């Protein structure tokens, strides 16, 4: 069976979320849900909405933003060019990720890649992890994110996650060092010394001395990994590693175009493979391979928005990123127990009928064909702002 692609659809979706980070708040989640139809099967994919990431606090998508996205699809032909092609070619159908490919195209490419892998998996009766080289673990520890709130609220959240079975926590601290110290002191007192903590300021420190001071001040709280703690060139990150001796994770722009430079600069102890930075599932494998050749492990970051990208990266975490937990636990645990009430979701945030089970903080990876998930079309209708299709 040739599995010739008959139709490609992109649904622009959005939903309130209310996540707060060191550098500000994100009131809305926006994404593109992809469908690729061929041979009686439909593969589904997801990527963030690529054209207005800087304006995450706008309550509604502007018509101009939607037009810009459609214009990008028309000008690049990245989606329409799939019509009539064999889905079995997978990412060979998508543009090469050279330095000339901009961030919008990288994001779109990733969403299409997920849909292609789901489609081929369904057609062949194989899970995506088999298409990616084989599952190496069926149970993956999850790592929820504690977003930036008051000390008391963050401590309560940490305790709730740990009570639910999670053994890894990622902290988005306040940027004021005194407040960050109070948060970490409270969390350590609440959860004890055995829970692994990852500390992420989203490049909040702009000066080398400030980042170094923060690391030294937080030393008593046994932080395992400092992620994107300093907004600086790679040589400064390498120097920060040498000066402090702590483990530095590189996340921002850890893409195919940058991975060799990161490794060559000795700028990281760990590479975070963040959704929307990879450009495709096959590219994610290549990034992990380059990092491994340099002796640098990788981890799976977060997050997708509406469940499909989450499933893809959870599936990916069964193949690569093996030394670390999977940060991408999806939005559903933030919507219900143990983080219920901390965010501003107005409905269930997942467009997937049955997300992968998470039991005692551990993600259970399925062996069903494709991603092993089903799109909830009623929820999709409620979230959809606009749709563009090619056939």
pLDDT band, very low/low/confident/very high, at 303 (cuts 50, 70, 90):
confident
Is pLDDT above 70 for 176?
A: yes
Distance, in Å, from the CA atom of 210 to the CA atom of 34, rounded to the nearest integer, reads 42
Q: Could you give the count of Cα atoms lying within 13 Å of 329 in the half-sphere of its Cβ?
A: 30
Distance set, CA 301 to CA 145, 190, 275, 316, 348 (Å): 10, 25, 7, 11, 22
* Residue found under tokens 């909830």: 376
Nearby residues of 64 by Cβ (< 8 Å), 6 or more positions away: none
Cβ-Cβ contacts under 8 Å for 232 (sequence gap 6 or more): 206, 208, 211, 240
The residue whose two tokens read 């692994």 is 196
What letter would DSSP give residue 181? H
Residue with tokens 């509406």: 306
Positive or negative, the CA dihedral 309, 314, 316, 317 is positive
- Mean pLDDT over 375-387 rounds to 96
CB 250 within 8 A of CB 220: no
pLDDT of residue 51: 73
CA distance 37 to 79: 12
H/E segment holding residue 156: helix 151-163
Whether the predicted pLDDT of 199 surpasses 80: yes
Q: What is the pLDDT of residue 54?
A: 43
Q: Are 329 and 302 in contact (CB under 8 A)?
A: yes
Q: What is the mean pLDDT of residues 365-383?
A: 97
For residue range 119-131, list pLDDT tens digits in order. Answer: 999 999 999 999 9
Q: Give the tokens for residue 35.
A: 């469908």
User: Would strands 168-171 and 196-200 be described as parallel, antiparallel, or unpaired?
Assistant: parallel
Give me the helix-helix angle, 281-293 and 308-316, nearest 10°.
Answer: 30
Share of the chain above pLDDT 90, in %: 83
- How confident is the model at residue 46, as a pLDDT? 98
Residues in the chain: 391
34-77 tens-digit pLDDT: 999 999 999 999 999 987 554 555 557 888 889 999 999 998 99
**Using 50, 70 and 90 to split pLDDT, how confident is the model at 2?**
confident
Mean pLDDT of 315-333: 96
* Domains of the chain, CATH where assigned: 5-125+376-390 (3.30.390.10), 131-364 (3.20.20.120)
Strands 41-48 and 24-38, sheet pairing = antiparallel
Q: What span, in angstroms and rounded, lies between the C-alpha atoms of 347 and 16?
A: 9
pLDDT-based confidence at 342, cuts 50/70/90? confident
CA distances from 122 to 45, 126, 169, 202, 295 (A): 13, 6, 34, 37, 35
Residue 308 has pLDDT above 70, yes or no: yes
| pLDDT at 314 > cutoff 70 | yes
Share above pLDDT 70 across residues of the chain, in percent, rounded to a whole number: 95
Indicate the average pLDDT of the chain: 93
Q: Is the pLDDT of residue 27 over 90?
A: no
Reference 232, options 256, 191, 201; nearest CA is 201
Please give the radius of gyration of the chain, using alpha carbons only, rounded to the nearest integer: 20
Two tokens at 326? 């999977």
């Amino acid at each position: 069976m040739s599995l010739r692609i008959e139709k490609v659809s992109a649904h622009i979706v959005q939903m309130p979320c209310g996540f707060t980070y060191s550098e500000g708040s994100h009131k809305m989640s926006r994404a593109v849900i992809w469908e690729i139809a061929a041979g009686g099967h439909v593969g589904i994919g997801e990527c963030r909405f690529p054209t207005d990431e800087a304006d995450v606090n706008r309550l509604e998508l502007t018509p101009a933003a939607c037009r810009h996205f459609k214009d990008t699809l028309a000008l690049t032909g990245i989606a329409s060019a799939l019509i009539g092609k064999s889905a079995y070619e997978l990412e060979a159908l998508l543009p090469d990720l050279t330095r000339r490919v901009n961030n919008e195209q990288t994001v779109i490419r990733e969403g299409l890649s997920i849909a292609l892998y789901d489609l081929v998996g369904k057609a062949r009766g194989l899970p995506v992890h088999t298409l990616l080289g084989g599952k190496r673990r069926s149970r993956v520890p999850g790592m929820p994110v504690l977003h930036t709130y008051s000390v008391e609220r963050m401590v309560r959240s940490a305790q709730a996650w740990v009570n639910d079975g999670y053994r890894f926590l990622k902290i988005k601290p306040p940027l004021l060092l005194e407040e960050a110290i109070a948060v970490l002191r409270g969390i350590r007192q609440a959860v004890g010394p055995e829970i692994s903590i990852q500390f992420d300021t989203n490049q909040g420190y702009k000066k080398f001395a400030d980042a170094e001071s923060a690391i030294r001040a937080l030393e008593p709280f046994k932080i395992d990994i400092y992620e994107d703690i300093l907004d600086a060139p790679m040589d400064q990150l390498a120097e920060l590693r040498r000066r402090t001796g702590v483990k530095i994770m590189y996340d921002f722009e850890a893409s195919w175009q940058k991975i060799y430079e990161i490794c060559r600069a000795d700028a990281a102890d760990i590479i975070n493979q963040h959704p929307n930075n990879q450009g495709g599932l096959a590219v994610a494998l290549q990034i992990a391979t380059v990092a491994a050749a340099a002796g640098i492990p990788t981890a799976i970051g977060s997050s997708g928005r509406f469940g499909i990208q989450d499933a893809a990266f959870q599936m990916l975490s069964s193949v690569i990123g093996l030394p670390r937990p999977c940060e991408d636990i999806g939005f559903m645990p933030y919507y219900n127990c143990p983080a219920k009430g901390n965010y501003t979701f107005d409905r269930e945030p997942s467009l997937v009928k049955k997300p992968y089970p998470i039991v005692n903080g551990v993600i259970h990876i399925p062996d069903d064909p494709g991603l092993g998930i089903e799109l909830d079309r009623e929820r999709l209708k409620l979230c959809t702002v606009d749709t563009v299709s090619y056939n």
